[in-house]
Amino acid sequence: MNVLIIDPDDARAALVAEGIRADYGGPDTHVRLGTHFELRMLRDFDPDMVIIACESPDRDMLEALQVANEVVPRPVVMFVDRSDDNATARALEAGVAAYIVDGFNPKRMASILTVAAQRFALTQGLRNDLSKAKADLAARKTIDRAKGVLMKSRNLTEDDAYKALRKHAMDTGRSIQAVAADILAVSGLLGGE
Amino acid sequence: MDLKIAFNPLNDAALIVIAEALGFYESEGLSVTLTREANWSTVRDKLAYGLVDAAHILAPVPFAAALGLGPSVGRVIAPLALGANGNAFLVSAALKARLEGETSLLGSARMLAREVERRRQHGEGQIVFAIPFTYSAHHFVLRHWVASAGLDPERQIRWVVLPPSRMAQMVKDGLIDGFTSGSPWPQASRLAGHGEVLFSDPDYWTLKPEKVLAVRAAWAEEHEGGTFALTRALLRAGSWACQGSNRDDLIRIMARRIYCGAPPEAVEMALRTVSGQGGSGLVLDPQIATFPWISHAKWFLGQMVRWGWLAPDHDFDQLARHIYRPDLWREAAGSLGFDLPLADEKDEGGQPRPWSLAATPKPITMPPNVLFDGGVFKCRAE
């Protein structure tokens, strides 16, 4: 079984490959990765299944091959019975689509696609955590700088400056970060930074 | 009312993008989440599986999918077009040099036929043109142009589907001889010195249909008034976008990273009307370029028959009306005080000068409607 994985995010592709090898590892399973799809990959590698990230712009290229040629992997969405296509739907939701050649075992297709979807969801979770951590850090910095402005302009202790920020946030129904950003925006007028 | 709308990063997603940037969805009572997609296959699948409720889509795609060409898009309706024109055809400097001296499309096609013959005699490879999707106006336009010189587009030209983001590099590397894509990508490549715009949409057809808004029929049925509100928001976005005084703001918004993510100069160039300057003549005026003409739908279906993807024995009128919904356009546009065309179909082509279109309460002054070869597409049962 040859599986080709196309994903601009190569770390995520490696994660999917590892998942497939864990389930189908064996001398007959070959997995190849690419950040871009190239036509020659079909000739050189002859994949039975292609897994492609929905965010890859190359998906339309792969899709078009079925119009021109009979012996290329076709979109999985063309094979599934709509009453039983949970694997395809969940994969799409996770951001991954698949193409298989005629005759590829549908059960195997569904289980590989499920593995791919899980790995995509996992990566998305990590990405979300990372961007939340970055946002938290940025918020922290904004608040610290606003505290500094208040300490200097109103001659407050750090603790009192934070309390003033928090009180203003509660009074106006906004986040402390938003209040802090406003203070920084007008800090020039306050004679601060 | 919550809904998700998918779009691809192109200038002709302007109405969808502007309605968000200026808050028109909210003021129509809609809570919209936009999702930026990287290809059309995913847009189609997301509509089919209900992961989005509406989408910026190539006008021929819902018809192709409904006729079994490729995977299903599910049941969709198109209450409005998202403007007219917007694509440009960029060729390599080498091919441009071979087509030099001819400014009309008929002339450049004749020169192309000579070049095809020259390459054949010298045993050089076939001319390769890239398009972004098989069932696209881009493809139909290029095939029509190629065929106008007596070339057989099926045998004498090689077609490849490529993502617009990779087309420019392939022209530069000599892997393809030219490509058509929506703006601002051909303009971005021209600015990067990768090739020249040979012609753009208005040179081919002064008011060429291109993208539509596809709405999942199930969403429309479950949400009373939803399609009306959505169509109103987009028409209002169009009224804003076509004001000359808003042009700079329009360019800045479209160039933002979350929308097109292209250089503002490329977006600006693409909005020009003269193709010699890289323009692609995008028309966003909702009064003249958003009505979902049944004659446009039939023209697309006719192209699919012409190029052999579709048998001619279909009920094209029924098919066209199943997806294109001029009745919904009239309902929304009427509430905004637009003039409403009386007919659902018109002759396409044959109007070299501005002309008066029968409408209520008053007629609409339409810009010229001409095809490059002088052809007139008639589909009305007189």
Per-residue pLDDT of A132-177, as tens digits, reads 999 899 999 999 999 999 998 889 999 999 999 999 999 988 889 9
Look at residue A13 in the predicted model and tell me its pLDDT. 95
Look at residue B382 in the predicted model and tell me its pLDDT. 46
Are A142 and A181 in contact, with CB atoms under 8 Å apart?
Answer: yes
Give me the numbers of helices (H) and strands (E) for chain B, helices first please: 19, 14
Mean pLDDT score across all residues of chain B: 94
Give me the residue from B39, B134, B164 closest to A67, CB to CB.
B134
Task: Tell me: pLDDT of A85 over 80.
Answer: no
How far is Cα B372 from Cα B130, in angstroms, rounded to an integer? 21
Give me the residue from B72, B161, B309 closest to A61, CB to CB.
B161
Which band of pLDDT confidence, cut at 50, 70 and 90, is reported for residue B363?
Answer: very high
Give me the numbers of helices (H) and strands (E) for chain A, helices first please: 7, 5
* CA B347 to the chain's CA centroid: 19
Look at residue B40 in the predicted model and tell me its pLDDT. 96
Which is more confidently placed, B279 or B225?
B225
Sign of the torsion formed by the C-alpha atoms of A125, A130, A131 and A132: positive
Who's near A43: CB < 8 A, 6+ residues apart?
none
Task: Tell me: pLDDT of A69 over 80.
Answer: no
Tell me what ipTM this predicted complex has.
0.90
Shortest distance between the Cα of A184 and any Cα of chain B, in A, equals: 25
Helix ranges, B216-364 (H): 217-222, 226-241, 247-255, 264-271, 286-289, 294-306, 316-323, 326-335
Q: What is the mean pLDDT of residues B202-206?
A: 94
Look at residue A81 in the predicted model and tell me its pLDDT. 53
Helix pair angle (A10-24, A106-153), 10° resolution: 140
How far is Cα B134 from Cα A63, in angstroms, rounded to an integer? 9
DSSP conformational letter for B269: H
Tokens of B296: 């446009």
Backbone angles phi and psi of B364, in degrees to 5: -105, 130
Which band of pLDDT confidence, cut at 50, 70 and 90, is reported for residue B321?
Answer: very high
How far is Cα B376 from Cα B363, in angstroms, rounded to an integer? 22
How far is Cα A30 from Cα A44, in angstroms, rounded to an integer? 13
Q: Is A35 helix (H, G, I), strand (E, B) or coil?
A: coil
Q: What is the mean pLDDT of residues B179-186?
A: 91
Which is more confidently placed, A106 or B38?
B38
Look at residue A187 in the predicted model and tell me its pLDDT. 76
Which pLDDT tens digit goes with each residue over B72-91? 999 999 999 999 999 999 99
Give the percent of chain B with pLDDT over 70: 98
Are B62 and B71 in contact, with CB atoms under 8 Å apart?
Answer: no
Report the candidate in A59, A67, A133 with the shortest Cα–Cα distance to residue A98.
Answer: A59
Task: Tell me: pLDDT of B28 over 90.
Answer: yes
Cβ pair B41:A57 closer than 8 A: no
Cβ pair B164:A57 closer than 8 A: yes
Are B298 and B37 in contact, with CB atoms under 8 Å apart?
Answer: no
Helix pair angle (A106-153, A176-185), 10° resolution: 50
Mean pLDDT score across all residues of chain A: 87
Residues of A in contact with B163 (CB under 8 A): 57-58, 60-61
How far is Cα B304 from Cα B308, in angstroms, rounded to an integer? 6
Shortest distance between the Cα of B177 and any Cα of chain A, in A, equals: 17
Q: What is the mean pLDDT of residues A26-52?
A: 91
Helix ranges, B79-179 (H): 93-98, 105-121, 137-147, 153-156, 164-172
Look at residue B9 in the predicted model and tell me its pLDDT. 92
Residues of B in contact with A88 (CB under 8 A): 49
Q: Is A74 helix (H, G, I), strand (E, B) or coil?
A: strand
> Other C-beta atoms within 10 Å of B67: how many?
16
Cβ pair B133:A58 closer than 8 A: no
How far is Cα A81 from Cα A86, in angstroms, rounded to an integer? 10
Look at residue B65 in the predicted model and tell me its pLDDT. 93
* CA A95 to the chain's CA centroid: 8
Give the percent of chain B with pLDDT over 90: 82
Which is more confidently placed, B382 or A56?
A56
Are B73 and B25 in contact, with CB atoms under 8 Å apart?
Answer: no
CB-based burial label for B101 (10 Å; 0-12, 13-18, 19+): exposed
Task: Identify the helix (H) or strand (E) that includes residue A65.
Answer: helix A59-68
Which is more confidently placed, B211 or A168?
B211
Tokens of B69: 């060409």
How far is Cα B329 from Cα B79, in angstroms, rounded to an integer? 5
Look at residue A108 in the predicted model and tell me its pLDDT. 87
Give the percent of chain A with pLDDT over 90: 49
Which band of pLDDT confidence, cut at 50, 70 and 90, is reported for residue A193?
Answer: very low
Tokens of B215: 């709405």
Who's near B277: CB < 8 A, 6+ residues apart?
B269
**Residue entry with tokens 């300490």:** A151
Look at residue A115 in the predicted model and tell me its pLDDT. 93
Total count of residues recorded for chain A: 193
Cβ pair B70:A75 closer than 8 A: yes
Task: Tell me: pLDDT of B314 over 60.
Answer: yes
Q: Is B280 helix (H, G, I), strand (E, B) or coil?
A: coil
Q: What is the mean pLDDT of residues B81-104?
A: 92
Which band of pLDDT confidence, cut at 50, 70 and 90, is reported for residue A83?
Answer: very low
Interface-testing mutation among B4, B45, B57, with chain A (most A C-beta atoms within 10 A): B45
Chain A CA closest to residue B51: A93
Q: What is the mean pLDDT of residues B349-369?
A: 97
Residues of B in contact with A67 (CB under 8 A): 69-70, 134, 309
Task: Tell me: pLDDT of A109 over 70.
Answer: yes
Look at residue A192 in the predicted model and tell me its pLDDT. 43
Specify the range with the lowest mean pLDDT, choosing from A123-127, B242-246, B275-279, B301-305: B275-279
Look at residue B381 in the predicted model and tell me its pLDDT. 55
Q: Is the pTM of this model over 0.90?
A: no
Look at residue B99 in the predicted model and tell me its pLDDT. 92
Cβ pair B42:A64 closer than 8 A: no
Cβ pair A97:B134 closer than 8 A: no
The chain B residues in contact with chain A (CB within 8 A) are 37-42, 45-46, 48-49, 51, 69-72, 132-134, 160-166, 309
